[in-house]
Chains A and B, each alone.
Chain A
Amino acid sequence: MKPRGYAHLSSGQLDATFTALADPTRRAILARLASGEASVNELAAPFDMSQPAISKHLRVLERAGLISRGRDAQRRPRRLEPRPLAGASQWLEGYRQFWESRFLHLDALLDEMKPTGTKRGFRKRQH
């Protein structure tokens, strides 16, 4: 865990991040931008959607801070901003660790519930 990594993230920021990620088109746009910046036309190309529809998705992503616009005034290429995504995944990691600590108890309990012979066999199988 790196608590400092998400300490600065507000709940509003996470709402915006998760809401932006809830849509498959927006996730596809982010996946495309992960391999490098792209113009609105380039981003619209793989989708059967009008450019205004794509622009709407881009605005949601931009408001969530997940993408930004490049300097080139002509193309206005969009690029990925990795920080909010990292924040969202760190929160999930915290949730995961909370449950994993409980499930380790459950592992031990299940092992105990098995017939004695099986329990020994299980230990031996661990390499």
Chain B
Amino acid sequence: MTTAKLKVAAHGDREIVMSRVFNAPRHLVWDAFTRPELVKRWLLGPDGWSMPVCEIDLRVGGSYRYVWRHTDGTEMGMGGVYREIEIPERVVATEKFDEAWYPGEAVGTLLLVEQAGRTTVTQTMVYDSPQTRDAVLKSPMETGVAASYDRLEALVRSPAA
């Protein structure tokens, strides 16, 4: 890939900051993050998950709702309310999972900066407490590791391996 890899850092004791460069102009990246039919195409997560619900009411005070479903029937939903919108560069929204394993809402900021046809995406999540932030860091890791193991298993089983 010619794009830079994703960088993730824990800032202070309540924040997670992710940034990554995408090899596309900002208006395309903006669409991919804000148009439901496009969001559904990439925000899937690990293998076996689909995203049957993706509703976005992109206006200040409007809400969004995402639901993921696994082939085994497990569902996971989340949503929030838009607080600030500056097309096509910045969105601030609250974020809360249905079965929140942490108290309170997180506030996420999406920032898109274009340079020479490429777009740097920076996502900052601010959680209610250090404990919440660390709990969030822990949970996707377990899913992510499980998914990589699944893929690894598929790879070693394939005849080419």
Contact = CB atoms under 8 A, between A and B. Distances in A.
A3 B145 contact: yes
Main secondary structure of the interface of A (DSSP, over half): helix
A114 B26 CA distance: 12
Interface string B7-23: 11110110010101011
B53 interface: no
A107 B145 contact: no
B10 A102 contact: no
Contacts of B16: 95
A18 B8 contact: no
Interface stretch (B40-48, B79-87, B107-115): B40-48
Interface of B: 1-3, 5-10, 12-13, 16, 18, 20, 22-24, 28-29, 31-32, 38, 41-46, 130-131, 133-135, 137-138, 140-145, 147-148
B4 to A, nearest CB: 11
Most B C-beta atoms less than 10 A away, residue of A100, A103, A108: A103
A114 to B, nearest CB: 6
Interface in A96-127: 96-103, 105-111, 113-114, 122, 125-126
A126 B29 contact: no
Interface of A: 1, 3, 11, 14-15, 18-19, 21-22, 88, 91-103, 105-111, 113-114, 122, 125-126
Contacts of B9: 92
Contacts of B31: 113
A-B pairs, top 7 by smallest CB distance, nearest first, are A94-B141, A98-B144, A22-B13, A105-B42, A110-B24, A106-B42, A98-B140
B133 A18 contact: yes
Contacts of B140: 94-95, 98-99
B152 to A, nearest CB: 10
A1 B9 CA distance: 17
Given A19-B130, A22-B13, A103-B6, A113 B137 contact: no
